[in-house]
Amino acid sequence: MEKIGVFYGSTGGRTEAVVKKLQHFFPNNECEFFDVAKGISEIKNFNNIILATPSYGAGDIQDDWAGNLSNLEAIDFSDKTIGLIGCGDQYSFGAFYVGGLRELYNVLERKNASVVGFTESSGYEFDDSPAIKNGKFVGLVIDDSFDCNEILKRMATWAEEIKKSFK
Ligand SMILES: Cc1cc2nc3c(=O)[nH]c(=O)nc-3n(C[C@H](O)[C@H](O)[C@H](O)COP(=O)(O)O)c2cc1C
């Protein structure tokens, strides 16, 4: 399998800490990490891609990602496979849970990109989430402030799933 490009935005460092655990679940593949505050030009060099964002405001994508959405839109995704990760707080922002994840997905959907690794929304407590499509989250959803014990288990299951589609 080819190496994996992991692109994340992280205002407070939690999403960065989450994605940095990913290498553990891809022991045979190098994960390269990119903070999107420095841009997303490296995406073109990867076919296996993971994009991660927390949510701010009322379910909005993180600021550094917001500044890069037009760059994301300009990328040719024809040979690329993408897994998405959304970090959020289900109890404090339960009406807009991981809304930023949906903003990433919307761009990729418009581009007909291959997004893999949708997950069940059971096991979380929230009122509503823009990141649900046809009953599933459009990626891996992590609430790092509450369900710490679940994080590694969820990451492991998700990593196994998206590996099947990575090149
Ligand atoms: C001002 C503020 C607004 C937030 N809004 C949302 C939100 O709308 N939806 C959500 O799921 N989480 C929301 N969160 C929770 C963050 O997304 C969560 O803490 C995340 O782990 C932060 O990631 P970071 O440290 O990488 O920036 C908010 C947090 C703050 C401080």
Domain residues of the chain, as ranges?
A: 4-163
Checking if the pLDDT of 159 tops 70, the result is yes
Checking if the pLDDT of 148 tops 80, the result is no
Are 94 and 58 in contact, with CB atoms under 8 Å apart? no
Checking if the pLDDT of 29 tops 80, the result is yes
Tens-place pLDDT, residues 31-49: 999 999 999 999 999 999 9
CB-ligand 1 contact for 91 (6 Å cutoff):
no
CATH number of 4-163: 3.40.50.360
pLDDT (0 to 100) of residue 149: 72
For atom 29 of ligand 1, the residue with the nearest CA is 56
Ramachandran bin of 57, using left for φ above 0, alpha for ψ from -120 to 50, beta for the remaining angles? left
Phi, psi of 106 (to 5 degrees): -60, -40
Ligand 1 pocket test, pick from 89, 143, 144, 148 with the greatest ligand atom count within 8 Å of Cβ, gives 89
Checking if the pLDDT of 150 tops 90, the result is no
Ligand 1 pocket test, pick from 11, 91, 93, 148 with the greatest ligand atom count within 8 Å of Cβ, gives 93
Checking if the pLDDT of 147 tops 80, the result is no
Percentage with pLDDT > 70 across the chain = 99
Residue 86, beta-bridge partner list: 53, 141
Rg (CA), the chain: 14
Look over the chain and give the mean of its residue pLDDT values, rounded to a whole number. 96
State the Cα–Cα distance between residues 100 and 86, nearest whole angstrom: 7
Nearest ligand 1 atom to the CA of 15 is 26
State the Cα–Cα distance between residues 76 and 69, nearest whole angstrom: 14
Percentage with pLDDT > 90 across the chain = 92
Checking if the pLDDT of 58 tops 70, the result is yes
Picking from 85, 15, 74, 50, the residue whose alpha carbon sits closest to that of residue 165 is: 50
